[in-house]
């Protein structure tokens, strides 16, 4: 295809503003998705994504389009995820585009992720086209929202598009506008091959699938390519594009977006952000290196039965093939036995991985409460990072503990400012800025310890603002703090998997709340169970579960047999999620108790 007839674009939006719905309408309008294949959110391929209504992995589709002027064009739509945990996926997808549709919900306005995505788009020099969505809703306020976009972003909105992705109103105009305003790709066919990897994943049958965008040069099926960073060479075994189903082609030229297989076994050989070039004539100017992705949230994952250790390991390995941002290492817990320490980008990423494990691999898991990484300096001068609170050295050994901080922007209607400030102060935040975006909406900037966010921050923010706040954050580094380890003992036995690190001012209160919560989540047994919280050698809380009297089980006798069987089955189900600690049965819930103490 002649590059002049190609447009590569993305859709960016705050979550729920209608990005996936707009993509669906575009596919329908261009006749790309036949009626029988029609289903909501076509680009959200994974079942999990559809159920949760979020987009996890970026997807791409090539759309042939006949414009009003009768000319044939190719539109490459590169879908991006909308959640803050996945902003690295957004940035690499945007680097493959020349333009972006900025979708803003006309009933909501500019939110934290709207701004964050706009900045990523500006970083990549994209042409940004403002699109006001949901104008079919009676509560839409297009005039006010347009003004908000102009003020908050400084984007000219005089030609902003008004659409309803739901009814399809205004969507044809969106396509024409893309043709008019998004610049065609500027690559040279004669130059050495230079293509950007913006996504890659593992396919169990074909090996690694690489999604790329050609900047200069061209690619032929069967050609030898070189990964610029490693200089490793591969032979293309299949070249193709998504139309929207995978379709094989022999050739792709400058500006085109496609996929390739090349018998690549290891996802690390097709690193996102890397440059693909020709083995025979490599380019001298690769794309600048992308940010390396660092896991920020860690938890232990343990099989509920020791015999499931190997299957769990296999499952984790397979998941990692598909998700370069997820990592894991074997670890041993006194309480839980052999398992794995896993690293994630954020809490949502963690939840998704755990759900996928249980769904796709039928693994029965015990997960420990999430934690952040800490930087520890010992009195003999060594500095290292720990990602498990139980690894913290003895108190006498420690010179300093530093914890990760984030800079967070919270967007909120002004009547909730007070509640947000109170929450951030309670979470040890340091206020950095507060300004009015419009007369009724405020942007509050705080620096906060990341650990405080991991524990219930988002739920609290949502509840104190009745869901009207939105936020975005980035990690800014490690800073020293007065931190101590809080241990849990059950019948005198330390439960290493329940240890947490807390700020000294809060540790005492936390210990008491945690002991109480555990008393409530650990079922009564036939003997007494003592639950204690300790800081160092000092016991700060003690709770007791009295023994059950044996005849309580007598209740089960008699009655309808099917009901009883159901009850038994349910019990069995629950049991699998228990962990036997010595002679105490501890349910999965108890390991998560630290997450919701208030």
Q: Residue 16 interacts with ligand GDP (CB under 6 A)?
A: yes
Q: Which stretch binds ligand GDP (CB under 6 A): 159-167, 381-389, 512-520, 555-563?
A: 159-167
Q: Which is nearer to ligand GDP, 171 or 316 (CB)?
A: 171
In this structure, the strands spanning 374-378 and 383-386 are antiparallel
Residue 14, CB-side half-sphere exposure with 13 Å CA sphere: 20
Q: Which stretch binds ligand GDP (CB under 6 A): 17-25, 226-234, 447-455, 526-534?
A: 17-25
Q: Residue 21 interacts with ligand GDP (CB under 6 A)?
A: yes
Q: How many chain residues interact with ligand GDP (CB under 6 A)?
A: 18
Through-space distance between the first and last CA atoms of the chain, rounded to whole angstroms:
60
Backbone angles phi, psi at 445, to 5 degrees: -115, 130
462 binds, among ligand GDP, Mg ion, none (CB under 5 to 8 A by kind): none
Binding test (CB under 6 A) with ligand GDP, winner from 6, 15, 160, 488: 15
Q: Residue 47 interacts with ligand GDP (CB under 6 A)?
A: no
Residue 77's SS3 state is strand
Residue 445's SS3 state is strand
18 is in an annotated binding site: yes
Rg (CA), the chain: 27
Contact 522, 586 (CB under 8 A): yes
Beta bridge partners of 503: 483
Element (H, E) at 223: none
Environment class of 201 (CB within 10 Å of its CB; exposed 0-12, middle 13-18, buried 19+): middle
Q: Which is nearer to Mg ion, 166 or 232 (CB)?
A: 166
222 binds, among Mg ion, ligand GDP, none (CB under 5 to 8 A by kind): none
Please list every residue from 67 through 86 that binds ligand GDP, using CB under 6 A: 82
Other beta carbons within 10 angstroms of residue 125's beta carbon come to: 12
Closest listed residue to residue 58, CA positions, set 227, 249, 257:
257
Tokens at 474, concatenated: 């980035």
20 is in an annotated binding site: yes
Which residue ranges make up the site for Mg ion (CB under 5 A)? 20, 55
Cβ 524 to ligand GDP, closest distance in Å? Answer: 44
134 is in an annotated binding site: yes
Cβ 125 to ligand GDP, closest distance in Å? Answer: 23
Binding test (CB under 6 A) with ligand GDP, winner from 45, 166, 232, 577: 166
Binding test (CB under 6 A) with ligand GDP, winner from 20, 108, 226, 277: 20
Q: Residue 559 interacts with ligand GDP (CB under 6 A)?
A: no
21 is in an annotated binding site: yes
| C-alpha span between 255 and 214 (Å, rounded) | 5
38 is in an annotated binding site: no
Residues sharing a CB contact under 8 Å with residue 69, sequence separation 6 or more, in sequence order: none
419 is in an annotated binding site: no
Please list every residue from 102 through 131 that binds ligand GDP, using CB under 6 A: none
**Where on the chain is the footprint of ligand GDP (CB under 6 A)?**
13, 15-21, 53, 55, 82, 133-134, 136-137, 164-166
């Amino acid at each position: 295809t002649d590059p002049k007839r190609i447009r590569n674009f993305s859709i960016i939006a705050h979550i729920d503003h209608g990005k996936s719905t707009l993509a669906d309408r575009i596919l329908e309008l261009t006749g790309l998705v036949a009626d029988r294949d029609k289903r909501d959110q076509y680009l959200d391929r994974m079942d999990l994504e559809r159920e949760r209504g979020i987009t996890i992995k970026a997807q791409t589709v090539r759309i042939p389009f006949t414009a009003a002027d009768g000319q044939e064009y190719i539109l490459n739509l590169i879908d991006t995820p909308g959640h803050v945990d996945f902003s690295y996926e957004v940035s690499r997808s945007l680097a493959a585009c020349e333009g972006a549709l900025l979708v803003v919900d006309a009933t909501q306005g500019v939110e934290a992720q709207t701004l964050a995505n706009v900045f990523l788009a500006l970083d990549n020099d994209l042409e940004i086209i403002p699109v006001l969505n949901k104008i079919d809703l009676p509560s839409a306020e297009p005039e006010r929202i347009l003004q908000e976009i102009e003020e908050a972003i400084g984007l000219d909105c005089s030609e902003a598009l008004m659409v309803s992705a739901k009814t399809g109103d205004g969507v044809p105009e969106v396509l024409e506008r893309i043709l008019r305003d998004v610049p065609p790709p500027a690559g040279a066919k004669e130059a050495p091959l230079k293509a950007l990897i913006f996504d890659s994943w593992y396919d169990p049958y074909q090996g690694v699938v690489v999604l790329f965008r050609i900047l200069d040069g061209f690619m032929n099926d069967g050609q030898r390519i070189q990964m610029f960073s490693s200089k490793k060479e591969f032979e293309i075994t299949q070249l193709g594009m998504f139309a929207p189903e995978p379709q094989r082609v022999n050739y792709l030229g400058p500006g085109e977006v496609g996929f390739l297989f090349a018998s690549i076994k290891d996802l690390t050989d097709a690193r996102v952000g890397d440059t693909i070039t020709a083995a025979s004539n490599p380019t001298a100017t690769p794309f600048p290196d992308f940010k390396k992705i660092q896991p920020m949230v860690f938890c232990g994952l343990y099989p509920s039965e020791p015999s499931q250790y190997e299957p769990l390991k296999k499952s984790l390995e397979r998941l990692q093939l598909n998700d370069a941002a997820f990592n894991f290492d074997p670890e041993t817990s006194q309480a839980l036995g052999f398992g794995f320490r896993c690293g994630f980008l954020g809490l949502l990423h963690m939840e998704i991985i755990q759900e996928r494990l249980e769904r796709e691999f039928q693994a029965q898991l015990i997960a420990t409460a999430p934690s952040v990484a800490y930087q520890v300096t010992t009195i003999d001068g060594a500095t290292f990072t720990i990602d498990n609170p139980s690894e913290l050295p003895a108190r006498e050994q420690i010179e300093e503990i530093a914890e990760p901080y984030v800079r967070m922007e919270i967007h909120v209607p002004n009547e909730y400012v007070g509640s947000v400030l109170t929450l951030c102060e309670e979470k040890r935040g340091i206020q950095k800025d507060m300004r009015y975006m419009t007369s009724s909406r405020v942007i509050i900037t705080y620096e906060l310890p990341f650990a405080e966010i991991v524990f219930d921050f988002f739920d609290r923010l949502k509840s104190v603002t009745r869901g009207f706040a939105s936020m975005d954050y980035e990690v800014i580094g490690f800073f020293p703090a007065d931190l101590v380890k809080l241990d849990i003992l059950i019948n005198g036995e330390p439960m290493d998997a329940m240890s947490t690190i807390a700020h000294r001012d809060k540790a005492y209160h936390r210990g008491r709340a945690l002991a109480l919560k555990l008393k409530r989540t650990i079922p009564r047994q036939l003997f007494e169970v003592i639950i204690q919280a300790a800081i160092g050698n000092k016991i700060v809380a003690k709770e007791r579960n009295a023994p059950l009297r044996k005849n309580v089980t007598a209740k089960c006798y008699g009655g309808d047999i099917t009901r009883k069987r159901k009850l038994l089955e349910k019990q069995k189900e629950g049991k699998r999620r228990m962990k036997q600690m010595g002679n105490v049965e501890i349910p999965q819930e108890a390991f998560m108790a630290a997450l919701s103490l208030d």
